[in-house]
Amino acid sequence: MTLKGGVREVLATEMLEALGVNTSKTFALFETGEELERGDEPSPTRSAVLTRLSHGHIRIGTFQRLAFFGQAENIAELVRYCLENLYGEPAAASDKENALQLVDLVSQATATLSATYMAAGFVHGVLNSDNINVTGESFDYGPWRFTPEWDPDFTAAYFDHYGLYSFGRQPEAIHWDLAQLAGCLSLVAEAPALSDRLTDWSGRFEQALVEAMLRRLGVAPAGGQADRDLAAALINALASREATIDRIFFDWRGGRDPGEAYPSDAFRALAKALEGREQPAARLHPYWSDPEPCSMHIDEVEAIWSAIVESDDWGPIKRKVNAIHRMGDAMGADATAA
């Protein structure tokens, strides 16, 4: 891969992990010293080898390939492998039961992945079925972005002219990918039964989104409608785009109302929804007293790369990774304290 792509993946995976997204991790990035020719960016460019850590590398696209060739026996065998080795679930004697169980597990995993993308403000860029791991681990980042504001139309990929994978359409795209998995498994199980397993996805996504939004805000769940109302008020406030996503979560961390800094009706409604739910323990780490939140917007990503490509200066990326770790420590430690 290109060195630039490797640098970008380091930054993406570090930030996503800190924000609670189930993601592959970057173990090592080595520059090879070779010049790499690419058809989609200026060439020649510096090349690298990136080593990822993940629990599995089986994609929905892996099943699609087997289905294309009509290899039902191999699909059944791969389903058993995924259940036993990736999910730690015992496979049944029936291929049909195994297929239904796998769809159910992948449904929950991808619903959670979609929800945590939204809470993180992350836009993957290319959410086709070959970029969705059946474990729900995020990986294979292309032209990703963190959207500065809660903008459903924000698009990461320069070639995504119709916003197919825009910020607000990511749940739709991932649900479509899950439907492709169910279609492949129809070679070993009845299509109506598989289709029934897909109907729960929207509810699972909505519940996972509520949990992810409250987790990033640093507010403990109360359960039921109260949490749904709070998450709705939070999303409505974010959608006002009066401040960046990172700034809003930073300022309101632990359910604290910053008061005059957010006078609009949307934020006053959020303050109302948070009454009685403030958790000062969620702001104990010194990070929450910093003047600015730790963000990962494209201008900073490009500046980090420029330092490397122009003067072989790796200081900015090392400092940024350390800053991300500090933010992750703050969120993790405070969640435990809360």
Active site residues: 130
Q: Categorise residue 224: left if φ over 0, alpha if ψ from -120 to 50, beta otherwise.
A: left
What distance in Å separates the CA atoms of residue 100 and residue 106, rounded to the nearest whole number? 10
Q: ω before 263 within 30° of 0 (cis)?
A: no
Residue 31: half-sphere exposure toward Cβ, Cα within 13 Å = 11
Query: Nearest CA to 101 among 85, 116, 115, 80?
Result: 80
Instruction: Tell me the residue type at 13.
Output: T
- For the chain, give the number of residues: 338
Per the CB < 8 A criterion, the answer to whether 74 and 65 are in contact is no
Separation of first and last alpha carbons in the chain:
42
CB-based contacts of 189, cutoff 8 Å, min separation 6: 95, 96, 99, 100
Per the CB < 8 A criterion, the answer to whether 230 and 274 are in contact is yes
What distance in Å separates the CA atoms of residue 117 and residue 131, rounded to the nearest whole number? 14
Q: Which DSSP letter does residue 52 get?
A: E
Per the CB < 8 A criterion, the answer to whether 319 and 303 are in contact is no
Per the CB < 8 A criterion, the answer to whether 119 and 212 are in contact is yes
Residues facing residue 2 across a β-bridge: 47
Q: Backbone phi, then psi, for 273, in 5-degree steps?
A: -65, -25
The 3-state DSSP class for residue 58 equals: coil
